[in-house]
Amino acid sequence: MCFVTHDRAGYGRSDRRHGRRVVDEVADVSSLADELGFDRFGVIGGSGGGPHALACAALLPGRVVRAICDVGVAPLGTPGLEKDAWLAGMDPENVKEFGWAVAGEDVLTRELKALQVQLEERARVDPSTVLQDFDMSESDRAEMARPEMMQIIGESTFEWAVNGVGGWVDDGLAFMQPWEFDPADISVPVLIRYGMTDVFVPPAHGEWLAENVPGCIVKINDVAGHMGANPEQEIAENVRWLSAGIAPDGSQAPAPAVS
């Protein structure tokens, strides 16, 4: 079994794809799978990566065997959550970023550049303070204090914008637009995960996805926020789902269709 990660366009060392939409991730994943010789594979995306994983599940049913959307964002507008519902329960810092995106690319780029400088300054001193402006749940604060999480944040804060904030900007703008696929068209088994104390992507997003992705398995954590509550257990559950179709409750997903 292989586990492969990649930076979405514009993040890290990946070239920017200016003006990309959520659906454009499908071509990138297909190309990556072709290059690696993977005919069939599972996909997982967390937070802003969730919609991109769902895009692959919807549009690559002959290749994607199973998918996971972990604390993923729901669509904005029809079909999806209207603005007030989309923002309800979201921390003011995220709401502020939403406002920048609504104001347009120039505003969003300027503000994210300034924010990136601030985040890097904090990461150099103490990575656990990178998100200190957010009113996080106790669960997320506990996760932020884990040594391995501080290492990840300390490294990734610099890496995701090593060539600028273009990927971050393009994600923000893409979430304001239609996804250009309908989650109702997904036919492969999907695991939807979300936490009830999440202030980054509030539970309403997970609830909408759970109601609109056909036949999905739903795992709700009543205590966890955006970062989960037990990484070792959650990673193991995700691997079992993607590799063998075993849900967190031990049930077996239907076998994927082979075209």
Any idea where the domains of the chain sit in the sequence? 22-37+44-59+70-183+209-244
Return the half-sphere exposure (C-beta side, CA atoms, 13 A cut-off) of residue 159: 11
Tell me what pLDDT residue 90 has: 98
pLDDT digits (tens, 9 = 90+) for 172-202: 999 999 999 999 999 999 999 999 999 999 9
pLDDT-derived band at 34, boundaries 50, 70, 90? very high
Average pLDDT over every residue of 73-88: 97
pLDDT digits (tens, 9 = 90+) for 94-147: 999 999 999 999 999 999 999 999 999 999 999 999 999 999 999 999 999 999
Longest distance between any two alpha carbons in the chain, whole Å: 52
pLDDT digits (tens, 9 = 90+) for 213-238: 999 999 999 999 999 999 999 999 99
Q: What Cα–Cα distance (Å) separates residue 197 from each residue in 60, 89, 167? A: 32, 9, 27
Q: Where are the beta strands (DSSP E) in 39-113?
A: 41-46, 64-70
pLDDT at 256 over 90: no
pTM exceeding 0.85: yes
Q: Which residues contact 42 (CB under 8 A, 6 or more apart)?
A: 64, 65, 66, 67, 68, 241, 242, 243
In 10 A of CB 15, how many CB atoms? 11
The CA distance from 247 to 245, in Å, is 6
pLDDT-derived band at 255, boundaries 50, 70, 90? confident
Determine the angle formed by the axes of helices 92-103 and 105-125, rounding to 10 degrees.
Answer: 140
pLDDT at 36 over 90: yes
